[in-house]
Amino acid sequence: MEEAIIRIEGVSKTFVTADNTVEALKNINLTINKGDIYGIIGMSGAGKSTLVRTLNFLEKPTEGTVIIEDKDLSKLSEKEIRKVRTEVAMIFQGFNLLMQRTVLDNVCFSMEIIGKSKAEARDRARELLRVVGLESKEKAYPSQLSGGQKQRVAIARALATNPKILLCDEATSALDPTTTKSILELLKEINAKYGITIVIITHEMTVVREICSHVAIIDEGVLAEQGAVEDVFSHPKSKAAKKLVFMINRSTPFMDGRRCIRITFSENSSFEPVIANMVLEYNAPVNILLADTQDIGGIAHGQMILQLPEDEAIQEKMIAYLKNRGLEPEEEEWPCD
């Protein structure tokens, strides 16, 4: 039986500034179960960073509430909220380490806050530095570390107080792909080993695909879609989801050519598999950017926009090939910028 650990109930957040009002979140409802790795994805400015900050009440919602386990955060005093925060750790895009403290003392910081003794904190900090693979760096200062190492220190610091939830706010966005992968591996390991529920805020679909079990898509402050990652990926329903999924699918077999042509099929040309034959003939792929059928004067007309390979010689040959089959290829502008 799946057990809810975070319940976001009707959360709205409005920012009022001197000259305008911004509705960052509009009536968000979301349940995150214990042990999930839950991705919250959206374009920048969609409100996802605000949403994650309502989970530990760094941002108080204008309406609605967040319930962590059984605790309704909107009903707690500041002191009680601080107590909850020691169980809901957070890591950030900018790492946010104390620059004037050593790595070891940075990890100890979260334990100082909960009043752990210095000796005890140091032992635990060393243990966690081993978990994140930085035991040799305990005396170093953050300025001496790479981005990936800094994030590892931040993770160790976050784990030091034995939190039940780990919030990651664009935690890998400042890192290169290889480092991102290793940090995600570490998060996966932590989730499996300690059973910590992880909430990942990101604008990168690859991050979600890599590690998340569930995903919620936030678009312009609204929860557009949510569900298991495979469902959302294979059957995206909302426009925002389609946009995100489409982006990633297209980027997989990436084509560099920018020359496009439009061809029109009429009834007599649709019996021969023209495109497939052409691809086989020249041994080069084309990308179908658009395919459409239109009813023009009672006759079905098929339309297609093809992205041609980068090689100009092949482009010309393909155009000649299509002309030969009476398809009248027309030059088309690159539609994807």
Partner 1 sequence: MIIVGVGQTLTMTLVSTIVAYLIGLPLGIALVVTADGGLRPNKIVYKILDIVVNITRSIPFLILLILIIPITRFLVGKTYGTAGTIPPLTLAAAPFIARMVESSLREVDGGVIEAAQSMGADTWTIIFKVMIVEARTSLIVNATIVLGTVLGYSAMAGAVGGGGLGDIAIRYGYHRYQTDIMLVTVVLLVLLVQIMQVIGTRIATKIDKRNI
Considering only 29, 100, 162, 251, the residue that binds partner 1 (CB under 8 A) is 100
Where does this chain touch partner 1 (CB under 8 A) — which range of 1-9, 83-91, 231-239, 268-276? 83-91
| Ordered DSSP codes for 220-260 | TTEEEEEEEHHHHHHS--SHHHHHHHHHHHHHTT------E
Size of the site for partner 1 (CB under 8 A): 32
Residue 92 contacts partner 1 per CB under 8 A: yes
Nearest distance from residue 157's CB to partner 1, in Å? Answer: 8
Whose Cβ is closer to partner 1: residue 21's or residue 143's? 143
Where does this chain touch partner 1 (CB under 8 A) — which range of 5-13, 87-95, 228-236, 239-247? 87-95
Which tokens sit at 140?
Answer: 């170093």
Whose Cβ is closer to partner 1: residue 99's or residue 276's? 99
Q: How far apart are alpha carbons 9 and 30 in whole angstroms?
A: 7
Q: CB-based contacts of 170: which residues, under 8 Å, 6+ apart?
A: 49, 92, 93, 201, 202, 203
Nearest distance from residue 181's CB to partner 1, in Å? Answer: 24
Cα Rg of the chain, angstroms? 26
Residue 124 contacts partner 1 per CB under 8 A: no
Whose Cβ is closer to partner 1: residue 147's or residue 227's? 147
Beta-strand runs (E) in 114-196: 165-169
Nearest distance from residue 110's CB to partner 1, in Å? Answer: 5
Whose Cβ is closer to partner 1: residue 22's or residue 98's? 98
Considering only 34, 71, 101, 188, the residue that binds partner 1 (CB under 8 A) is 101
Nearest distance from residue 186's CB to partner 1, in Å? Answer: 19
Considering only 90, 175, 274, 319, the residue that binds partner 1 (CB under 8 A) is 90
Q: How far apart are alpha carbons 36 and 97 in whole angstroms?
A: 26
Which tokens sit at 310?
Answer: 């980068």
Where does this chain touch partner 1 (CB under 8 A) — which range of 85-93, 186-194, 261-269, 303-311? 85-93
Q: How far apart are alpha carbons 32 and 201 in whole angstroms?
A: 13
Q: How far apart are alpha carbons 21 and 15 in whole angstroms?
A: 6
Nearest distance from residue 58's CB to partner 1, in Å? Answer: 6
User: Are the CB atoms for 217 and 232 separated by under 8 Å?
Assistant: yes
User: Are the CB atoms for 125 and 104 separated by under 8 Å?
Assistant: yes
Considering only 22, 113, 192, 280, the residue that binds partner 1 (CB under 8 A) is 113
Residue 94 contacts partner 1 per CB under 8 A: yes
